[in-house]
Amino acid sequence: MDFMEDSSRNQRRFRTFNVIDDFNREVLGIDIAVSLPAGRITRYLDKLAKYHGYPLKIRVDNEPEFTGNTFTYWAKSHGITTEEYINPSSSYQNGYIKRFNRWYRTEVLDLYLFNNPHKQGT
């Protein structure tokens, strides 16, 4: 799982939350919003789990959304272990999502102009 940022035509920033399965390299989902706090992330992961099931392990960057109490409590309550957090300068430790992010940037985000995103409830 990882975040990306982009902006709309009027320069309003938005983020994407990309989730892939490392084992089969399947994109499980992408959530897009102006703000993606930990509570929204865990609700989105619950939604994905209804279809895919909960994972045994999660590999993530050392970002506040993943290191705070909301996310760590959510993971523990579902029996999910978080692998060691990825070092900030070591993107190779999370290679599949970084490769996907590069593709998503060049094939989607860089090719389209987005209208102003509306802030949705968190």
The domain tally of the chain equals 1
Instruction: Identify which has the larger pLDDT, 8 or 58.
Output: 58
Report if residue 114 sits inside a domain: no
| Model confidence pLDDT, tens digit, residues 57-93 | 888 887 888 888 999 999 999 999 986 666 666 555 5
- The CATH number of residue 46's host domain is 3.30.420.10
Instruction: Identify which has the larger pLDDT, 85 or 38.
Output: 38
Handedness of CA 68, 81, 79, 100 (dihedral sign): positive
- Which domain covers residue 19, as residue numbers? 2-109
**Average predicted confidence (pLDDT) for the chain:** 82
Report if residue 20 sits inside a domain: yes
Percent pLDDT > 70 in the chain is 80
> What is the rounded CA–CA span in Å between residue 98 and residue 112?
20
Give the confidence band of 116 by pLDDT, cuts at 50, 70, 90.
low
